[in-house]
Structures are given as structure tokens and as C-alpha cells.
């Protein structure tokens, strides 16, 4: 009987966990680190307008704010450190 109850128990536990996550008050946005808001007006920018991968392993993200027209770049070092 336990073998038949376990899948149902697992399903219910998963559904409860999923419902708790969906109903939570936690913000789904990543912490602001200067890359998801405009540096001039603070408008939320969802994604970079362009990304460039340099041979040095650096990634340059080019951002554009649709609210004020401001543009800026951010840099990420993508090389794996040992």
C-alpha cells in the first residue's frame, strides 16, 4: 500500500511547494547591480540590446533605455578561473 501512496504523497508535496513559490511575495527580478535599470532615469531595462563576445573572454553588454534614450555598456569576464 505504501508504494501506491508514495507517488500521490510526492505529487501533493510538490504541488504545495509550487503553490507556495507562486503565491510568495518575493520579487522575481534579480538584485539590482546596475544592469537592469537605466543609469540615468532608473527605468527597468529587461535585457541588453546587444552583446559582444571578445576574444579575450570578456562579454560587453550594450544597454538602451526606451524611456529616455540613454545607452551604456557593462562588462563581464567570462573566462573560467582555476
39 neighbors 70 (Cβ within 8 angstroms)? yes
pTM score, whole prediction:
0.52
Residue 78 in grid coordinates? 567570462
Question: What's the domain range around 17?
Answer: 2-77
Q: Tell whether the model's pLDDT for residue 8 goes beyond 70.
A: no
Cell 563581464 locates to: 76
Where does the chain show beta strands of DSSP type E? 50-53, 58-64, 71-77
What residues pair up with 61 in beta bridges, in sequence order? 51, 74
Residue 82 lies in a domain: no
Residue 21 lies in a domain: yes
Q: Tell whether the model's pLDDT for residue 66 goes beyond 70.
A: yes
What is the count of structural domains for the chain? 1
Q: Tell whether the model's pLDDT for residue 19 goes beyond 50.
A: yes
71 neighbors 82 (Cβ within 8 angstroms)? no
Amino acid at each position: 500500500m505504501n508504494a501506491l501512496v508514495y507517488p500521490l504523497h510526492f505529487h501533493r508535496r510538490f504541488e504545495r511547494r509550487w503553490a507556495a513559490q507562486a503565491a510568495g511575495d518575493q520579487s522575481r527580478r534579480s538584485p539590482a547591480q546596475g544592469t537592469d535599470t537605466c543609469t540615468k532615469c532608473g527605468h527597468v531595462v529587461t535585457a541588453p540590446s546587444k552583446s559582444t563576445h571578445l576574444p579575450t573572454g570578456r562579454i560587453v553588454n550594450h544597454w538602451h533605455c526606451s524611456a529616455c534614450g540613454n545607452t551604456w555598456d557593462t562588462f563581464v569576464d567570462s573566462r573560467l578561473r582555476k
